Amino acid sequence: MSITVLVTGGAGYIGSHTCRHLLDAGCKLVVLDNFYSGHRWAVPEDATLIEGDVANYDLVRRVLREHEVGAVIHFAGHIVVPESVREPLKYYRNNTVASCHLLQACLDTGVDRFIFSSTAAVYGNPVTLPVAENAPTQPITPYGTSKLMTEWVLRDVSASRKHFRYVALRYFNVAGARSDGTLGQATPEATHLIKVACEAACGLREGITIYGTDYPTPDGTCIRDYIHVDDLAVAHVTALRYLRNGGDSQILNCGYGSGFSVRQVIETIREVSGIDFSVTEGPRRAGDSASLIANAERIRTVLGWKPKMQDIRIICQTAYDWEKTYLRMRRSARQMP
């Protein structure tokens, strides 16, 4: 695809993986990141890197014009659910208000193709599983609400501007790493289960806590639909191609349609690592729903998306292999003069 793409949050976990797939597809990349949770080393060398914030309207407008950007993929955002409960304004400022500034810059410079990093948290505690895109949106946390509000903004902007089209991708639980071991999740103080369990297997944590064992699920722990980060990255490239070919605005689930409990995931990490790390049980965590499993038929039908990493063992294995690599990277960095 001969197009220049602005990737906000391109130094982060999902953004950096997507950047590599965009380059493979022939795109030119401009990455905008404030390094709140991203890393410079995660940005491909072939991308133009600009340090800054998406809320800076003047900066974003200048970047869009100077680089003749044709599309935006917007990853930049805060994602820690319990933190959003404690600090809701932080999430509304960064996830909703900053997105409005970014969209205004897009409209003012004629950028009319936009892909948004949304979340399955917009569904809250769905009544019917697997949950489809037309299910009621009833988020139970400021994180989910802040993302849903941005979806509403996109809907209204699209309705008001004839040529503006978008795809909002509602992620379920993203995990795993590149199979070649060159890139993975390096988020500081991560809270996602597979990442935390891999850190425990590598000795970086004393153990792991299961937050809630009394949920209405077969083993009492939360159930989630886990999607490999590379499959999700490909979904963004496919969405961009769809918009370039004249596709209408869409909201699409990104998951596999199968769920695994916290206990099942922990046992899988133990199996792939060969490490029997400590597991304790604790009270429920604010903002956690009992079960979230995607009905992902629409993304396959509309975009022609064909996932290749649809196996919880592969997800856990690649995540663990990356964690060992990342541990070596950090140890080497400390030893450097």
pLDDT number for residue 60: 98
pLDDT tens across 301-318, in order?
A: 999 999 999 999 999 999
pTM: 0.96
In the structure encoding, which two tokens stand for residue 172, read together?
A: 């379920």
Q: Cα-Cα-Cα-Cα dihedral of 28, 99, 159, 73, to 10°?
A: 20
Instruction: For the chain, list the domains and their CATH numbers.
Output: 4-175+227-254 (3.40.50.720), 193-223+257-329 (3.90.25.10)
In the structure encoding, which two tokens stand for residue 193, read together?
A: 């289960």
Helices and strands: H and E segment counts in the chain: 11, 14
CA 221 to mean position of chain CA atoms: 23
pLDDT at residue 249 tops 70 = yes
pLDDT tens across 123-177, in order?
A: 999 999 999 999 999 999 999 999 999 999 999 999 999 999 999 999 999 999 9
Q: Cα-Cα-Cα-Cα dihedral of 310, 311, 314, 320, to 10°?
A: 100
In the structure encoding, which two tokens stand for residue 168, read together?
A: 């909002």
- Residues near 66 by Cβ (< 8 Å), separated by ≥ 6? none
Segment 201-220 shows an average pLDDT of 96
From the candidates 13, 91, 143, 320, which is the catalytic residue? Answer: 143
| Beta-strand runs (E) in 75-216 | 113-119, 165-171, 173-175, 207-211
Segment 17-41 shows an average pLDDT of 97
Residue 39 is which amino acid? H
Cβ burial, residue 241 (10 Å; 0-12/13-18/19+): middle
Q: How far apart are the first and last CA of the chain?
A: 42
Can 211 be counted among the known catalytic residues? Answer: no
Residue 31 is which amino acid? V
